[in-house]
Each structure stands twice: as structure tokens, then as C-alpha cells.
Amino acid sequence: MSRTTETQVRVRYAETDQMGVVYYANYLIWFEVGRVEHLRSHGISYRDMEQDDDCRIAVVEARCRYKAPARYDDLVTIKTRVARQRGPLVHFEYQALRASDGLLLAEGETIHVCVDRAFQACPLPEKYRLAEGDDQ
């Protein structure tokens, strides 16, 4: 079963806006960091997917709901899990929490389609499929 993985990022000054709050688009970057580390924890490398199997998982939809502000030097935990997979589609879910107190800062999801080098949809190779759900 696909477990939830946790990845930590520290808010850099450059990631904040004039109000001292993390700029909203940075959460999508952190979600990507969480996704790559989630795959890596399952022994999956984006590089290997692309080079060895002509498989890319392109983002076709991204959402983020903001709950509370993150600020400079906060340590943020990104929780990532695979929610669903069907054919060429893979759906990831994320939570960003302030590590010091567990406060939910943001939650979101990304939907990806597996494509080949020519950007034609193709099935995700079986060796990259992760069980859906969460073991929490």
C-alpha cells in the first residue's frame, strides 16, 4: 500500500512576499519536492522513468487550498500520498504543515498523465504503479 511520506523544507527569505508570508506559488514547488521524494522512497526515479522507459508524468491539473500562513525560517513538513491511479492518470495528494506545531498550512493535489517522448498518453508501466490510499 502506498504510504504517506514526509519531506521537510525550510522557508527561505526569497520565498516570502512583501507581507512576510510565503508566496502562494511556492507551495506547488514544495508539492513537487514531496512528490519526487515520495517516489524515491518507493525506489522510483524520474530520471529512470524517462531514460529507461520513455515515461513522463506530466502535470495536467494542480490545486492548492491555503489554510494558514507560513513565514520565513518555518520548517514545513510536506505529506504526500498517491490517492488514485487509472490508466495513464496518477493523482497525488499533499498536506503542508508547520513542523513546530502541526498546523495545517495548505493542502492540495496534482493530477498527472503518463506520456511518452512525443507527449502521447500511454499507460503507466506496471513497475511504477503504487498502491492507492494511505496507511495512517
Q: What is the pLDDT along the chain (136 residues), one digit of tens a residue?
A: 358 999 999 999 999 999 999 999 999 999 999 999 999 999 999 899 999 999 999 999 999 999 999 999 999 999 999 999 998 999 999 999 999 999 999 999 999 999 999 999 998 888 888 766 544 3
Can you give the three-state secondary structure of 65-91, one letter per residue? EECCCCECCCEEEEEEEEEEEECCEEE
Q: Is 17 a catalytic residue?
A: yes
Q: What is the bridge-based pairing of β-strands 56-66 and 5-10?
A: unpaired
pTM of the predicted structure, to 2 decimals: 0.90
Distance CA 12, CA 74 (A): 8
Domain 5-128 belongs to what topology?
Thiol Ester Dehydrase; Chain A (3.10.129)
The residue annotated as part of the active site, out of 17, 52, 54, 73, is 17
Domain boundaries, the chain: 5-128
Distance CA 106, CA 22 (A): 11
The pLDDT value given to residue 125: 87
DSSP string, the chain: -PPPEEEEEEPPGGGB-TTSBB-TTHHHHHHHHHHHHHHHHTT--HHHHHHHH--EEEEEEEEEEE-S--BTT-EEEEEEEEEEEETTEEEEEEEEEETTT--EEEEEEEEEEEE-TT--B-PPPGGG----S---
